[in-house]
Amino acid sequence: MLKIVPEFLKAIRPEFRNHKKNFHQDAYYTFTNYRYLWVIGIFILAVTALSPLFMATLTYHQLIETSVDSDLNHRTKQLTDAAKSAVTFFMEERLNALTFTVNENGYDQLTDNARLTEILKNLKLGFGGVTDLSVLDADGNQVAYAGPFNLEGKNYKNQSWFEQSIKKMNFISEVFTGYRGVPHIIITVRSAKSDGSFFILRATLDTERLMKTLSSYKTGAYADIFLVNREGILQTPSMHYGAIFTPTNLIFPANSYETDVNTMTFNGISIISGHSLILRDMVTTPFTLMVLKEKAGMLQFWMDMRSKFNRIISASVIIIIIVITFASTFMVNKLYRADKAKAETMMQMEQTQQLASIGQLAAGVAHEINNPLAVINQTAGYMKDLFSFKDQTQNTDELIEYIDSILDAVDRCGTITRQLLGFVKQFDVKIKNVNLQKLISQVLSFHRKEAEYRQINVTVSIPDIFPELETDSSKLQQILVNLVNNAFQAVEEGNSLDIVARQVDTNTIELVIHDTGCGIPEENLKKIHEPFFSTKKDKSGTGLGLSITYSLIKKLGGRISVQSTEGVGTSFTIILPVKIKEGRIA
């Protein structure tokens, strides 16, 4: 198990992180910013893989939320409607019973206490919840009473419920405690007496029964059902929104006789509320039914499912990102390895090419040496002839002339070998002061004879005041050898090769190698610095010369551009710093 972790990290961690800076080799890398490639690879793959997932998740959540919301609203409305029916029915039933009682018995019978007690007993049996009954005359005097309290003879004229009940046929009061100290509701029915005045039958309803009815509609711990009056005072106890007779802190919804469902926030908790005024056709009640559900509580199931879903999604995202990183690392590694192998090969090719260009020069040099050798051979041969064919030993002047001629030829050979040695010596890689004029003529010296034979006009133009370059002379030399060799291959008899140098500014020089040779076709111009691009169909070229030359110039901190017109000529323009930057050397 412990072994897996480093293996895993190795698979994720791209190899380019271990890249050791090697200035000479780095110039041959096709891609320089592997970190960028890696990151972009991960990014593109991640966007491609994850965006559909995110979209789907988002849509899913939205759909669920919408459907859950509407489901919740619907259920709340249903519950409110059901509770409303029950409360309405509760009130209606009792009011109807009272109306029936009044109409059936009339004033005379009702004021008979025994009869009233009998009626109360029957009402309790039939409906329950009726605590007591009393008959009041128009002045508020209690004419008859049946019930557990001793309230006979009391006058209610100044009670607000009495004032309201004489105005209407039916009346239902708010919940109040009154004389008894127990919450109750008063229901009254007004009826005419035979003498033209009226009396009132009052029943007191026990709220216990109403509360029971309400609580039977409660579903779960997150729902609350209660009644409030028009002022927002609780008429029945609530679980979360205050005790009985205290004001609710809810923002009171607009009164409506239709069941209304909306969402609100209470103490930072999102709740769904259903509410409706309790209306009876015969009478207006002061009650508003409130059904409140904590959304979070109701949504618990969905919330749980969502968090589970989110955990699965998160895990998938992590896995996808790991896989993507792995894929990106894998691909970038392949690319990096290929690039590295290419850079290493190019590095070797650079050395091979250096040797090849020297070999090319050596062939020319051998020819150069063969000529004076031939002179020495024939002169020495002739001197020998002088001795063997005729005795001309006395003619010392002539002999000395021949010996001088031999020495002369030996000198020529010596000059050539010294040139070659001087040239080869430049191979050590180090920064030194380079006289460009000298270096150019050194390179050209190997082509002097060829230029002569082919009648190629070679000119070098360097200003008298020209800075000594502080650069890697071996590289500069190879650049010049490559470009001059190229030019000599491009030119024909009678063409010219011009090398012009000038100082651009204090730290920049420009070197133009211009030939009036065959030129480079436009379609090849972009490809000439690519490795292995060659137009030499006889396979004499490796296609690496210019590619390596470009890299070498880059290593010297310079740049090269080429202008060419087919059949007119080619100009290679090199911009080089006078002083190479520190660290640009292996």
8 A C-beta contact, residue 6 and residue 568: no
- Tokens representing 463 are 């200003």
Closer CB to another protein, 150 or 540, in the complex: 540
**φ/ψ (deg, to 5) at 277:** -70, 145
The amino acid at residue 140 is G
DSSP summary character for residue 253: P
Calpha distance 529→550 (Å, rounded): 7
Calpha distance 455→360 (Å, rounded): 20
Reduced to 3 states, what is the DSSP secondary structure of residue 419?
helix
- Tokens representing 116 are 């009233």
Q: How far is the CB of 34 from another protein (least distance, A)?
A: 47
**φ/ψ (deg, to 5) at 127:** -120, -35
Q: How far is the CB of 366 from another protein (least distance, A)?
A: 6
Q: How far is the CB of 380 from another protein (least distance, A)?
A: 9
Closer CB to another protein, 98 or 409, in the complex: 409
- Tokens representing 520 are 């480079």
Calpha distance 86→81 (Å, rounded): 9
Q: How far is the CB of 513 from another protein (least distance, A)?
A: 23
Q: How far is the CB of 540 from another protein (least distance, A)?
A: 12
Reduced to 3 states, what is the DSSP secondary structure of residue 335?
helix
Q: How far is the CB of 386 from another protein (least distance, A)?
A: 8
Q: How far is the CB of 453 from another protein (least distance, A)?
A: 5
Residue 215 CA neighbour count, 13 Å, CB half: 11
Closer CB to another protein, 44 or 374, in the complex: 374
Closer CB to another protein, 139 or 385, in the complex: 385
Closer CB to another protein, 132 or 368, in the complex: 368
Q: How far is the CB of 444 from another protein (least distance, A)?
A: 16
**Distant-in-sequence, close-in-space partners of 128: CB < 8 Å, separation ≥ 6:** 209
Q: How far is the CB of 450 from another protein (least distance, A)?
A: 8
Using CA atoms of 298, 303, 304, 306 in order, give the dihedral in degrees to the nearest 10: 150
Give CA separation, 134 vs 131, 180, 266, 409, 554, in Å. Answer: 10, 15, 43, 156, 114
Q: How far is the CB of 413 from another protein (least distance, A)?
A: 11
Residue 577 pairs in a beta bridge with 508
Closer CB to another protein, 49 or 383, in the complex: 383
> Got the DSSP string for 420-435?
HHHHHHTTS--EEEE-
Q: How far is the CB of 399 from another protein (least distance, A)?
A: 13
Closer CB to another protein, 262 or 377, in the complex: 377
Closer CB to another protein, 413 or 518, in the complex: 413
Closer CB to another protein, 44 or 366, in the complex: 366
Cβ count near 501 (within 10 Å): 20
Q: How far is the CB of 507 from another protein (least distance, A)?
A: 42
The amino acid at residue 263 is T
Dihedral (CA of 287, 177, 135, 168) sign? negative
Q: Give the containing element (helix H, strand E) for 293.
A: strand 284-294
User: Looking up tokens 């519950």, which residue turns up?
Assistant: 79
Closer CB to another protein, 506 or 540, in the complex: 540
Closer CB to another protein, 50 or 369, in the complex: 369
| Pairing verdict, β 142-146 and 457-461 | unpaired
User: Looking up tokens 């209306």, which residue turns up?
Assistant: 279
Closer CB to another protein, 370 or 459, in the complex: 370
Cβ count near 240 (within 10 Å): 16
| Pairing verdict, β 260-266 and 284-294 | unpaired
Number of helices and strands (H, E) in the chain? 13, 16
CA angle, corner 482, sides to 477 and 484, nearest 5? Answer: 90
Closer CB to another protein, 18 or 393, in the complex: 393
Calpha distance 178→139 (Å, rounded): 19
Dihedral (CA of 307, 309, 312, 314) sign? negative
Calpha distance 59→63 (Å, rounded): 6
Q: How far is the CB of 394 from another protein (least distance, A)?
A: 17
Closer CB to another protein, 77 or 454, in the complex: 454
Contact set with another protein (CB under 8 A): 363, 366-371, 373-379, 381-382, 385, 389-390, 405, 409, 449, 452-453, 455
Q: How far is the CB of 547 from another protein (least distance, A)?
A: 27
